[in-house]
Structure formats: C-alpha cells, structure tokens
Amino acid sequence: MAASTLSPVPPIEAAFPADAVVNPKTHSATQLPKDHDSAPSASQRAKSALFTPLTINAGGITLSHRIVMAPMTRNRGIPVNIGRPNRAWKPSPSVATYYAQRATPGGLIITEGIPPSQEGTGSPAVPGLFLPEQVPGWKAVVDAVHAKGGYIYAQLWHGGRACLPHFTGLESVSASATPFGEGMESRYPPPDEDADDAIPGHGDRVAMSDFPPREMTKGDIAKTISDFVSAARRAVEECGFDGIEIHGGNGYIVEQFLSTNVNKRFDEYGGSVEGYCRFPLELMQGLAEAVGGQRVAIRLSPFGMFNQSYGAQRMEIWSHFCRRLKDAVPNLSYIHFIEPRFEQIIEAAAKDSYLKSLGNNVTLQPFREIMGNTPFFIAGGYNDTNVWGVVESGAGAAITIGRYFTSNPDLVTRLREGKALAKYDRSRFYWVPDNMDRGYIDFPCLGE
C-alpha cells in the first residue's frame, strides 16, 4: 500500500503492535523482529528475564513478569442510552470477562483506548469514561482483573481530527485546522435498518478530508486537559484502576500537537520545538497533579506515520518532550514506545525509505538514555519465537504484546511452558454486531 492508503475501520488498528528490535544500540531502520530457528529449551525459558519482577508506579507495584497486554481497541461497548443515535458507550459484561481471562497474578494489562470525552470518541462502540453511567462497567473490569491478582491501567485516548462527527455528534478538533489528505478514509458502522437516524450507504467508506477539524482555541485546550483529568480521576478513584496511560501516538490528539505537518500554530502551542510540546506537557503535568505522577504513563510513536502524521524534526521534538517530561514528572510510572520500523498502513519499503532519510541508525536509544531509570516498555510484533533475549539486551524493561493476547488468554503460561500459540482472527478484532462474543471471549486456554 502507498502512503496515502486508507486506514482500517475503525481507525484504531494501531492498537496492535507489529515490530521489534533486539539490540537497541545497533538496530538499523530496516531490521525486522528475528524469529529463532527453534524454540528455547525449558531451562532457557526458566532463566528468561521475561519472568523476573519489575517495579513500576514509582515503587508502588512490583510486576511478577514483564509480558504486558498491550492496549487494543475491540469495539465491544454497548449504548449508554437506548435510542438513536448511539454516541456514548459503556463496557458490556463481556468486557470484564475478556480482561479477566487474560489477567495473571502480578501481571499488567493496559486497556483499550478509553475516550475522555464525547468529542474525543474516535470509533463506535468504544466505551468511554466521561459519564457516570460508564463507571460501573469499568469498575467491573477492574474488579475482575484484581480478583485474578493482576494489575490494570486505563489507556485514555482522544482521537482529535480522526473523530468523525457522525461518531460524536460534534465537529472534530485538532491542533490546527489541518484536514487529512486525499486517500485517507474511514467507514461508518454497518447499516441498522431499524435506526431512525439511518444514513443511506453509511456502511461505505467516507473521505476523512470531507470532515476538516476546527483549530482548538486556548479554551478548548484547557477543556481537553480538564476532560482527561476528570477521566483519570474517575478511573483511579471510582473504578479502582492502578494507573492510567495516555495514548500519545498513532496520529491522535497528542501526536497531532507534536507533528509539524498537522500543528501549524504560531502561538505558544506551536511554531517551535517548545511550542509543539506544550500541550502534551501541560496534559501530563495536570494528570500527575490530579492522580499522582506514579500512576501516570504515556505511549509514544515518534517515528510513526499512522493517521498521516508526517512531521519533521522528530528527534528534536520528541527528545525535548521526553527531557521536559522527565523533569516535570520524575516519578512517571513507565514510558511506552512503539518501535521505529513499525507501521500500520505503509508498506515496509516505503517506511524503510522514510526512516533512512532520517539517518541510518534510527533507534529508540536516545529516548532510553533521556528517560534513565523510568521503566521503558516497547511494543513490537513479538511472538513465541522472537520475544526471547529482548529484555536481556536492554531494549526494553517490559514487552507489550497485542494480537496474540486476543487469541491466547493464557499467553503468559504458553510462553513460560513453550506451548504453541493459537492464531488470532483479524476479522473479529473490531466492530462485529452479529455476535460480539465470538472472537473475543471464546478462545480456550490450554487444556480446555
């Protein structure tokens, strides 16, 4: 696919990580995750650093292993209100079952992206955390994971210009009024013949360029930070989440401010390295003040191109952000990076060409050095053959795995015991109105 290829629908495939790196200092832009010719022996698995403790939450949480369930949008929410249109969603009972199935004693789960506002809802059937009615469903999720001895962080996600007005009932907003380019498309939910607001042909793809965002005023920026803070407080104080992670990558609202091709502002929120970083830093500081820095984390994709985030000065901007973040929130729970070569909708050759234009040694190593002792999580296309030795190499303190967790609720056990992994079903990742449980909570564990 070319760089202008349309995005998957809903526009959240970036939740599924798909690249990795073994040596953080010598990794080149074109390296793929390396599969081993044979599975590690039982003694090698037993000695693996994957199964050693890791402290996060500024010492408040000690994980029993370093295999983290990555954030993955699954579109299994149910409407808050009966009627049409449905634009606010809450977790169905199956959501609690899904997360509990994948919980392990001392293991960490990061939830799917949770919208902190109606305005930030980037996809249908994604449960939010901006209404009182949404709290009980998420509390049930947390209680179910805690009952298994696990930990769970809520990922908060605002889509910015990636939010279609048909999903929110509101105009989309962004750092600037920068529309998507031609070729970027999304899709409405499948037609509902009984809906009184049915839109003819609304199961078809629509051009994102037809829905340009409005540039956020300073008041909008303050309100958006307030929305995130309110959602974080609900998550921690009312639902009982152990912490929150901000989705700061994949071309969504945080990355829209960081990306020079989207952020065209010339006030204090743009126009310079410091300006591009101001909103994300104010957001992180606000969250730390509200729930404690030790409960706050962020996910970043400094070399991503998803949602047409094609900005320049990437090393300068993201390095500045990380330095300022380290100073502002020194007790940050962890930081979560997507590897440079990973891309969702760009062909590998095109992404390689882009990365080479930035230099032959595009790596996350500068960010590791800046963040120092902050636990450094990495996302990549890890599986039962390429995950071994990564923690030992220093590439990451923990490995987040996405797709294989969908089809292997007992993934940690399978890795520990050297058992084969069940293949995931991509057709059931997202919006599935025919049977929301199929491909979601019906994958068996070993021996079932």
Supply the pLDDT for residue 390: 93
Cβ atoms 205, 10 nearer than 8 A: no
- Percent of the chain topping pLDDT 90: 67
H/E run at residue 288: helix 273-291
Per-residue model confidence as pLDDT tens digits over 382-392 = 899 989 999 99
Domains and CATH numbers, the chain: 13-428 (3.20.20.70)
- Joined together, the tokens standing for residue 318 give 């993201």
The catalytic position among 151, 188, 252, 440 is 252
- Work out the percent of the chain whose per-residue pLDDT is above 70: 82
188 flagged as catalytic:
no
**pLDDT tens-digit series, residues 17-35:** 333 233 333 333 334 445 5
CA-based nearest residue to 309, from 353, 351, 364: 351
Q: Is 188 helix (H, G, I), strand (E, B) or coil?
A: coil
The pLDDT value given to residue 189: 54
Question: What is this structure's pTM?
Answer: 0.89
- Measured CA to CA, the distance from residue 304 to residue 278 in angstroms comes to 20
Please check the confidence at residue 166 and state whether its pLDDT lies above 60.
Answer: yes
**216 vs 117: CA distance, rounded Å:** 15
Say how far apart CA 404 and CA 416 lie, in whole Å.
14
CA 92 – CA 136 distance, rounded (Å): 10
**β partners of residue 337:** 300, 378
List, in sequence order, every residue forming a beta bridge with 300; answer none if it has no partner. Answer: 337
**183: which residues sit within 8 A by CB, 6+ positions away?**
2, 4, 5, 6
pLDDT digits (tens, 9 = 90+) for 215-243: 999 999 999 999 999 999 999 999 999 99
Type of residue at 389: G
Kindly compute the dihedral angle of the four CA atoms of residues 91, 94, 97, 101, in this order, to the nearest 10 degrees.
-110
For residue 53, how many other CB atoms are within 10 A of its CB? 10
Q: How does pLDDT run across 19-78, given as a tens digit for each residue?
A: 323 333 333 333 444 554 467 888 889 899 999 999 999 999 999 999 999 999 999 999
Task: Please give the radius of gyration of the chain, using alpha carbons only, rounded to the nearest integer.
Answer: 20
Highest-scoring range by mean pLDDT, 161-175, 277-291, 310-324: 277-291
